[in-house]
Amino acid sequence: MAEHKLTTPLSEEDVRKLEAGDTVSLTGVVYTARDAAHKRLVELLEAGKELPIPLEGQLIYYVGPAPTPPGKVIGSAGPTTSYRMDPYSPILLEHGLRGMIGKGARSEPVVEAMKKYGAVYFAATGGAAALISRSIVSAEVIAYEDLGAEAIRKLEVKDFPLIVAQDSSGGNVYEEGQKQYAR
């Protein structure tokens, strides 16, 4: 299993060489969005309107951070469960989204879109939220401030530790890993 250092934005080529189980240290900009923000983004796409964030080559991190305490860049900020975004992801991938960061497995339609458009799904460690906040060097709300924790933030991350959970050729660390350790 390979180790990679990646910097966003990512090209299709960057992503196609990642295999399920590889570890990645990620640097650069990622955008946050959860359930409510996804709903709005997809409504805009369906209406043919412009989005508040770029998608081409970008990554979305599924997180609703805790409020920022004084003197910090951001509050605790670990991943939320990804399957809730499954209904929205294929259309975002179709419009150029290169990858997603969350926790837990993705469904078949998302995997099909990842294969087709060349995208990757990374897992971060759920519940390691104070630790992950240390990889975030800047945070700024850029859309949907009314959604509070669910607003879209532009985060700059440095050496964010991730694992390639599902890759662009159908590789799946959950299936492979669990099979290996089941008795």
Partner 1 sequence: MREIRAEQITEAVARLSMEANFELEDDVQKAIEEAFEKEESPAGKEVLRQILENSQIARTERMPICQDTGYAVVFAELGQDLHIVGGDFEAAVNEGVRSGYTEGYLRKSVLSDPIKGANTGDNTPAIVHLRIVPGDTLKLWIVPKGGGSENMSKIAMMKPADGVEGVKRFVVDCVRTASGNPCPPVVVGVGIGGTFEYCAYLAKKALLRMIGSTHPDSYYAELEKELLELVNDTGVGPMGLGGRVTALSVNIEAAPRHIASFPVSVNMNCHAARHKMVEL
Could you give the residue numbers annotated as active site?
Answer: 38
SS3 content of the chain, % helix, strand, coil (to 5): 30, 30, 40
3-state secondary structure of 118: coil
Residue 123 in contact with partner 1, rule: CB under 8 A: yes
Give the total of residues touching ligand SF4 (CB under 6 A).
3
Tell me, what DSSP letter sits at residue 83? Answer: G
Give me the sign of the Cα torsion angle 58, 62, 68, 69. negative
Residue 130 in contact with ligand SF4, rule: CB under 6 A: no
Question: Could you say which of ligand SF4, partner 1, none residue 75 binds, taking C-beta under 5 to 8 angstroms by partner kind?
Answer: partner 1
* Angle, CA 60 vertex, CA 42 and CA 77 arms, to 5°: 120
Q: What residues make contact with partner 1 under the rule CB under 8 A?
A: 21, 23, 63-69, 72, 75-78, 80-81, 83, 103-105, 123, 125-134, 148-149, 161, 163, 165, 173-174, 176-183
Q: What residues make contact with ligand SF4 under the rule CB under 6 A?
A: 78, 126-127
